[in-house]
Structures are given as structure tokens and as C-alpha cells.
Amino acid sequence: MIVIYHDVGGCHSSATAANIHINKLPMNRTPSMEEIIALPTFDKIEKSDKGKLIYIGEDEFGAQVYTLARRRKANLVIPAISDLYRITTGSLKGFFLANTSPAVNNTMRIGGVSSRVFGLVSFGRP
């Protein structure tokens, strides 16, 4: 099974969701700022990583969990990845895509842009 958490930048909401999925962040409480910032991919994706699947880990059922920075091209990227999986396996069974963008509020958007575009990392952090 493969699970891909995707969003525009690939380094905030998708990284957080993927790490909750593999139990590197708690599900029973809000993680601390220190726990989130300590994640290997939180706010650390480089421009060269955009469009690449980033392996986050494996869950307790053996599913491989990835993140993807797809920019604003979900309508192109997601069908291509789905088609490739279907071509190589014969179906979409065991393939899950999770768009984390709907969970991003305006404060998070401003923080992400401040951090990734303008380099104001401390302003953009939780």
C-alpha cells in the first residue's frame, strides 16, 4: 500500500499529516512546536524537491507513506501519478492520495509564504 499526502509546498501540512500517520507525531493531542519543527521534512523541502515523492516512513500496517509538493498543478500531477500506479500494478487498490490543502487556513498560508518565499523562517513557524 502507498499513501501520498500532497499539497502546494509539501513541507508543512503534508509533512505534519504524514508524520501523524506513521506515529512520529501524536494523534491524541496537539503536537508541540518543538515536535513539529524537529521533523526531518517540516519546512525543509528545497526547490529541487518540488514534484518529487519524499519518503516519510512506514505505518504499522506496512504502508509506505510519502509527501509531495505539487505546487498548484494538482490537476496535472495527481492524475499522472494515479495512472502510473494503475499501469504498474493493474489497479488503484492500495493507493491513496490525501490532499492536505483544505486543512490549511489563512494564517498557515501567510506563515508558509513568509518562511519559504521571503525567508522569514521564525515568523512563519508555528
pLDDT in tens, 73-109: 888 899 999 999 999 999 999 999 999 988 877 677 6
DSSP 8-state secondary structure symbol assigned to residue 78: H
pLDDT in tens, 58-78: 999 999 999 999 888 888 899
Residue showing cell 500517520? 21
pLDDT in tens, 14-59: 999 999 999 999 999 999 999 999 999 988 888 888 889 999 999 9
Residue showing cell 492536505? 100
Q: What is the pLDDT of residue 126?
A: 57
Q: Which residues are 96's β-sheet partners?
A: 3
- 26: helix, strand or coil: coil
Q: What is the pLDDT of residue 46?
A: 84
Rounded Cα distance, 25 and 32, in Å: 9
Rounded Cα distance, 69 and 78, in Å: 11
pTM for the whole structure: 0.84
